[in-house]
Amino acid sequence: MKLPEAEQLCVQLVGELKARIGPQTAMIGLYTGGAWLAERLHAMLRLPEPLGLMDIAFYRDDYHARGLHHDPKRTKIPFDINGRDLLLVDDVLYTGRTVRAAMNELFDYGRPASISLVVLADRGGRQLPICAQHCGARVEVPSGMRLRLRRDAGDRLALALEPERAA
């Protein structure tokens, strides 16, 4: 099956987001795919605030079943989030649980004025009342597969399907 071109979706998202940028706008990407996408969007939009990066490992709701994953990244939010209009960026929106965890973590940093969700692809399958305000494309994903963003050595982004890892 043919997946949308990630690079084109980036251009499309930038066009959409430009109109939304205000003096309080700041961007935060979720590791790992969301961070790659956020790096790209942040550069293309020339946002004045440095980019924030989050690893939601300490806020996941499946810690008791799965434990901590082995390669945690350090969350770095290099600006005060109080009163900000945050663009929260992830690569693929699925169950909504990652976004829930990310919002919980964000509120331990302060009280943003607003949070909008930006994703490259929405594959449906939501388990929580969460939706993206800016979405590159809707993608049907066959069961047993997961949709991931990849970045090659030349920094090119591409969507890819791969078998789901056994839980």
Partner 1 sequence: MQRNPQLNANGELQHLLSIEGLPREVLVQILDTAESFVGVTEREVKKVPLLRGKSVFNLFFEPSTRTRTTFEIAAKRLSADVINLNIALSSHTKGESLLDTVANLSAMQADIFVVRHNSSGAPYLIARHVKPHEHVVNADDGRHAHPTQGLLDLYTIRHYKKEFTRLTVAIVGDIMHSRVARSLIHGLTTLGAPEVRVIGPQTLLPSGVEALGVRVFHDMRAGLKDCDVIVMLRLQNERMGGALLPSAQEFFKHYGLTGAKLSLAKPDAIVMHPGPMNRGVEIDSTVADGPHSVILPQVTFGIAVRMAVMSIVAGN
Considering only 101-109, 122-130, 145-153, 156-164, which stretch makes contact with partner 1 by CB under 8 A?
Answer: 101-109
Quote the tokens at residue 48: 């004045």
When asked if residue 104 is in the footprint of partner 1 (CB under 8 A), the reply is yes
Tell me: does residue 66 bind partner 1 (CB under 8 A). Answer: yes
Quote the radius of gyration of the chain (alpha carbons, Å): 15
- The yes or no reply on residue 75 touching partner 1 (CB under 8 A) is yes
Beta strands at 134-138 and 114-122: parallel, antiparallel or unpaired: parallel
Residues touching partner 1, count (CB under 8 A): 21
State how far the Cα of 70 lies from the Cα of 134, in Å rounded to an integer.
Answer: 31
Least separation in angstroms between residue 23's CB and partner 1 is 23
Is the Cβ–Cβ distance between 91 and 36 less than 8 Å?
A: yes
Say how far apart CA 82 and CA 142 lie, in whole Å: 40
Nearest CA among 130, 50, 58 for reference residue 90: 130
Distance in Å, CB of 75 to partner 1, minimum: 5
The window from 63-71, 91-99, 116-124, 128-136 that contacts partner 1 (CB under 8 A) reads 63-71
Is 76 near partner 1 (CB under 8 A)?
yes
Structure tokens at 52: 């924030």
Out of 110, 124, 125, 138, name the contact with partner 1 by CB under 8 A.
Answer: 110
d(CA 88, CA 102): 9
Residue 93 is encoded by which pair of tokens? 């929106």
Q: Find the binder of partner 1 among 10, 21, 45, 57 (CB under 8 A).
A: 57
Per CB under 8 A, does 59 bind partner 1?
Answer: yes
Q: Is residue 63 close enough to count as binding partner 1 by CB under 8 A?
A: yes
Q: Of the ranges 14-22, 42-50, 107-115, 121-129, which one interacts with partner 1 (CB under 8 A)? A: 107-115
| Exposure of 18 in the CB half-sphere (CA atoms within 13 A) | 8
**Binding interface with partner 1 (CB under 8 A):** 55, 57-59, 63-64, 66-68, 70-76, 104-105, 108-110
